[in-house]
């Protein structure tokens, strides 16, 4: 089986930097992705890491350490619109087919 752990809630102030961690346990691993979901909305794809290191896309960056089974999403220059839930997701090699397993999500609240 597979499992993903991420904090349930994080609070930060506008303009700050916040890091959302994700640890995973899988028998196989193809990569880690991150999705953003605003309340009542559809998840949207943010990033994907298959190799160790940092991937930067504008204000958002994502990091992966395969040896530590760990990754994080880094949000810089926080804006009020970044208030949302963030999910990490992995694919376990044992799954037959292209199934993704999502973490429980981290609710980010950005305060003025």
Longest Cα separation, the chain: 46
Quote the least distance from Cβ 111 to another protein, whole Å. Answer: 20
Q: Angle at CA 100, nearest 5°, toward 97 and 105?
A: 170
Residue among 15 and 28 whose Cβ is closer to another protein: 28
DSSP E strand stretches across 17-100: 18-25, 32-37, 44-49, 53-57, 60-65, 70-75, 84-90
Token look-up 């504008």 returns 58
Quote the least distance from Cβ 40 to another protein, whole Å. Answer: 8
Quote the least distance from Cβ 15 to another protein, whole Å. Answer: 27
Distance separating alpha carbons of residues 39 and 28, to the nearest angstrom: 32
CA 23 → CA 39, 64, 76, distances in Å?
A: 24, 10, 21
Q: Which stretch binds another protein (CB under 8 A): 15-23, 35-43, 58-66, 68-76?
A: 35-43
Residue 109 as a binder of another protein (CB under 8 A): the answer is no
Residue 50 as a binder of another protein (CB under 8 A): the answer is yes
Residue 42 as a binder of another protein (CB under 8 A): the answer is yes
Instruction: Name the residues that contact another protein, by CB under 8 A.
Output: 30-31, 33, 35, 40-45, 48, 50, 87, 89, 91, 96-105, 107
């Amino acid at each position: 089986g597979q499992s993903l752990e991420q904090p349930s809630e994080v609070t930060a102030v506008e303009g700050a930097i916040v890091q959302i961690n994700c640890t995973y346990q899988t028998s196989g691993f193809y990569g880690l992705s991150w999705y953003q979901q605003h309340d009542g909305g559809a998840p949207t794809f943010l990033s994907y890491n298959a190799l160790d290191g940092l991937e930067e896309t504008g204000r958002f960056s994502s990091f992966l350490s395969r040896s530590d089974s760990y990754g994080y999403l880094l949000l810089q220059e926080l804006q009020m619109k970044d208030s949302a839930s963030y999910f990490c997701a992995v694919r376990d090699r044992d799954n037959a087919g292209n199934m993704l397993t999502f973490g429980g999500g981290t609710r980010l609240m950005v305060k003025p």
